[in-house]
């Protein structure tokens, strides 16, 4: 369902360590904007009863049922968009603004 690249996994682990959130799951949220694009959010959180739990390597991800549908087949990566500026990106074929990376 959701794939996490090695670079993103390393950054997630580092963020958990720095934020004293080791052992907590990574919550990913997705909502549809008025223009049909998708807005993403992520942070460390405790699981709720209705959440869907996903293992991406050794990263535990939790999503709400509503977000799960929007995140189907998404890949999360951590890339350098500009020199010295790294950021998480969501490669999501469900987002109308998604363009597959050039091979």
pLDDT of residue 103: 62
pLDDT along the chain (103 residues), means of 10: 92 94 93 93 93 90 95 94 92 88 68
pLDDT of residue 76: 95
Ordered DSSP codes for 26-37:
EEEEEEE-TTS-
pTM for the model stands at 0.87
Query: Could you say which DSSP state residue 2 is in?
Result: E
The CATH code of domain 2-91 reads: 2.60.300.12
What are the residues whose beta carbons fall under 8 Å from the beta carbon of 3, sequence distance 6 or more?
56, 74, 75, 76
Domain edges within the chain? 2-91
Ordered DSSP codes for 40-92:
EEEEEE---TTPEEEEETTEEEEE-HHHHHHTTTEEEEEEEEETTEEEEEEE-
């Amino acid at each position: 369902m959701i794939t996490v690249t090695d670079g993103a996994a390393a950054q997630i682990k580092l963020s958990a360590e720095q934020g004293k959130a080791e052992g907590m799951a990574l919550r990913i949220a997705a909502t549809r904007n008025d223009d049909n694009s998708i807005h993403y959010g992520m942070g460390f959180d405790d699981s709720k009863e209705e959440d869907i739990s996903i293992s991406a390597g050794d990263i535990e991800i939790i999503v709400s049922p509503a977000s799960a549908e929007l995140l189907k087949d998404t890949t999360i990566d951590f890339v350098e968009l500009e020199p010295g500026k790294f950021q998480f990106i969501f490669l999501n074929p469900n987002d109308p603004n998604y363009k597959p990376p050039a091979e």
